[in-house]
């Protein structure tokens, strides 16, 4: 056995459709070999001969959950370009993102890189096509070192704005190259989609740029009159994506007619449908529907569109993504449990098995099941000292104090890639893969170790 084998013992195992308290997850050579009732009542007792050679991780008091899968994340742009005028080294930025994302429980990330014609809002140099192309190449190169040189799995979501007509040949080349795992077609033209309300568009634009009402009207007119990809071009790109096994997503769907068009392209994902009726129509067509986890945390859409909490409760949204805030994914799971009464297994499915299905990778990752890659989290809840409340404002049932979920261990392909310990929280490691020496010497000092 190598260091991708272990027993994760005694935790509450979150499967795709149920929760199993006091269960062990046995990992052998990077895959889940079995999930079974905890074999010993005394943690320090010697395991039986079958698993006696495996290291043991103490998961008592923790949720043992699948690694989170984020299929729409702009986060790497913020790492690579921390200020609008600065672009840091791109390879280094991906390593930095690697470390941050795993701390939030993300074990598979789809970096969402945008191909734009015009830059309506603030001009980000990281979104210049030269930088986007370089990032696409670097993300593709990370796969060769997966489960060896990197903490998590990196994938590519290419976002194609329909005004990027001059870049059509480049987009086609990337789709044919095998470097793209998911493609979405976007149209941010004001007057439809996300910005169907022109007042919302104007307020959003003013948040990025110092412009007058007259200048806003000029920008609206220019965008509405700008050249867009033709039906034939969109159809051709979608055909290439299907041939390459690349999942196709629509973006900011605002009508049944747009859904019908995207359904005709065999799109399987509707990102950020703008109303509950549209989200329900997308689900009725068999499409996966995505909302932002920050929307769940805020309790509303920042642009006045669909409420993710309402849509999840109605069964109209089945996938959450981090969009621009990776920390929101795990927090949203527990917010939906505490504020909306959602079953914890269903809440986790929104950020694990459902996005895996949407992206076509559910055979390998996305749930804790025998045979799958062992991408596993240990999640513990720590008290925030604040009253827990439902969305109605009433105290949450069965909870007098609000808690915050934290990732204390993360495994990718069975390899231990992240560990953390909070003050006044027991280490709970038992006979673990390694001893957290700092926590042993100074129990009240926070300890974070990445292995």
Model's pTM, two decimal places? 0.84
* Token pair recorded at residue 21: 């308290």
pLDDT of residue 431: 37
Collapsed DSSP state (helix, strand, coil) of residue 161: strand
**Which CATH fold would you assign to the domain 6-65+369-438?**
Urease, subunit C; domain 1 (2.30.40)
- Domain 68-189+226-359 CATH (choose: 3.40.50.920, 3.40.50.300, 3.20.20.140, 3.30.300.340): 3.20.20.140
pLDDT in tens, 315-325: 999 999 999 99
Q: Of 123, 134, 136, 129, whose CA–CA distance to 85 is shortest?
A: 123
pLDDT band at residue 53 using 50, 70 and 90 as cut-offs: confident
Is residue 269 a contact partner of residue 184, using CB atoms and an 8 Å limit?
Answer: yes
pLDDT of residue 45: 45
pLDDT in tens, 172-205: 999 999 999 999 998 856 645 555 555 666 656 5
Instruction: Output the CA torsion sign for 399, 367, 426, 101.
Output: negative
pLDDT band at residue 50 using 50, 70 and 90 as cut-offs: very low
Beta strands in 162-300 (DSSP E): 182-186, 247-251, 269-271, 288-292
Helix extents (H) in 291-411 = 293-298, 308-313, 328-340, 344-349, 353-359
> Where do you find CATH 3.20.20.140 in the chain?
68-189+226-359
Least confident of 267-271, 293-297, 436-440: 436-440
Is the per-residue pLDDT at 434 higher than 50? no
pLDDT in tens, 212-266: 767 666 666 666 556 788 999 999 999 999 999 999 999 989 899 999 999 999 9
pLDDT band at residue 1 using 50, 70 and 90 as cut-offs: very low
pLDDT in tens, 141-179: 999 899 999 999 999 999 998 888 899 999 999 999 999
pLDDT of residue 451: 33
> Where do you find CATH 2.30.40.10 in the chain?
6-65+369-438
Collapsed DSSP state (helix, strand, coil) of residue 79: helix
**In this structure, how many other beta carbons lie within 10 angstroms of the beta carbon of residue 352?**
32
Cα torsion through 184, 185, 190, 194, rounded to 10: -40
Q: Mean pLDDT throughout 437-450? A: 30
* Distance between CA atoms of residues 55 and 431, nearest Å: 7
Question: Which positions ≥6 away from 176 have C-beta within 8 Å?
Answer: 240, 244
pLDDT band at residue 385 using 50, 70 and 90 as cut-offs: low
pLDDT in tens, 11-43: 999 999 999 999 999 999 999 999 999 975 545
Is the per-residue pLDDT at 346 higher than 80? yes
* Percent of the chain whose predicted confidence (pLDDT) is above 70: 76
Question: Which positions ≥6 away from 160 have C-beta within 8 Å?
Answer: 115, 171, 183, 184, 185, 186, 237
* Distance between CA atoms of residues 359 and 347, nearest Å: 18
Cα torsion through 140, 146, 150, 156, rounded to 10: 30
Question: Which range has highest mean pLDDT (305-309, 363-367, 382-386)?
Answer: 363-367
Is the per-residue pLDDT at 437 higher than 50? no
* Distance between CA atoms of residues 246 and 241, nearest Å: 5
By the 10 Å C-beta count (0-12 exposed, 13-18 middle, 19+ buried), 389 is classed as middle
* Distance between CA atoms of residues 26 and 4, nearest Å: 11
Beta bridge partners of 106: 68
pLDDT of residue 85: 81
> What Rg do the C-alpha atoms of the chain give, in angstroms?
23
Is residue 296 a contact partner of residue 328, using CB atoms and an 8 Å limit?
Answer: yes
Residue 85 φ/ψ, nearest 5 degrees: -95, 5
Question: Residue-wise over 286-314: b if at least 16 C-beta within 10 A, else e?
Answer: ebbbbbbbbbbbeeebebebbbbbbbbee
pLDDT of residue 388: 56
pLDDT of residue 111: 96
């Amino acid at each position: 056995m190598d260091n991708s084998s272990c027993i994760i013992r005694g935790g509450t195992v979150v499967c795709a459709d149920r929760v199993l308290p006091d269960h062990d997850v046995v990992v052998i050579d990077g895959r889940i070999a079995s999930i079974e009732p905890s074999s010993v009542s005394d943690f320090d007792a010697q395991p039986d001969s079958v698993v006696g050679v495996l290291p043991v991780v103490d998961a008592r008091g923790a949720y043992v959950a699948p690694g989170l899968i984020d299929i729409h994340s702009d986060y790497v742009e913020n790492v690579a370009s921390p200020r609008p005028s600065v672009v840091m080294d791109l390879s280094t930025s991906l390593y930095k993102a690697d470390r941050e994302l795993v701390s939030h429980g993300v074990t598979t990330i789809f970096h969402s890189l945008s191909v734009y014609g015009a830059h309506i809002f603030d001009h980000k140099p990281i979104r210049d096509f030269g930088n986007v192309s370089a990032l696409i190449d670097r993300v593709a190169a990370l796969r060769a070192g997966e489960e060896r040189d990197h903490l998590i799995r990196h994938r590519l979501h290419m976002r194609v704005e329909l005004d990027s007509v001059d870049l059509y040949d480049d987009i086609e080349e990337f789709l044919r190259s095998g470097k793209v795992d998911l493609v979405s077609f976007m149209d941010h033209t004001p007057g439809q989609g996300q910005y169907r309300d022109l007042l919302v568009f104007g307020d959003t634009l003013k948040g990025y740029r110092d412009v007058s009402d007259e200048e806003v009207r000029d920008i609206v007119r220019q965008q509405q009159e700008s050249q867009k990809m033709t039906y034939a071009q969109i159809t051709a790109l979608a055909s290439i994506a299907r041939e390459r096994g690349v999942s196709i997503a629509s973006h900011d769907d605002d009508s049944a007619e747009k859904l019908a068009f995207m359904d005709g392209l065999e799109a399987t994902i509707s990102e950020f449908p703008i109303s509950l009726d549209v989200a329900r129509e997308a689900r009725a067509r068999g499409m996966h529907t995505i909302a932002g986890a920050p929307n769940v945390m805020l309790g509303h859409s920042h642009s006045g569109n669909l409420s993710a909490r309402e849509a999840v409760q109605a069964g109209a949204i089945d996938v959450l993504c981090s969009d621009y805030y990776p920390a929101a994914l795990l927090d949203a799971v527990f917010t939906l449990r505490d504020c909306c009464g959602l079953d914890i297994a269903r809440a986790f499915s929104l950020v694990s098995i459902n996005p895996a299905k949407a992206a076509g990778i559910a055979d390998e990752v996305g749930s804790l099941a025998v045979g799958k890659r062992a991408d596993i989290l240990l999640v513990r809840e720590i008290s925030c000292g604040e009253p827990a409340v439902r969305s109605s404002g009433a105290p949450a049932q069965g909870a007098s104090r609000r808690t915050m979920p934290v990732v204390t261990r993360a495994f990718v392909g069975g390899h231990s890639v992240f560990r953390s310990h909070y003050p006044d929280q027991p280490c709970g490691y038992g006979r673990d893969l390694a001893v957290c020496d700092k926590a042993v010497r100074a129990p009240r000092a926070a300890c974070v170790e990445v292995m």
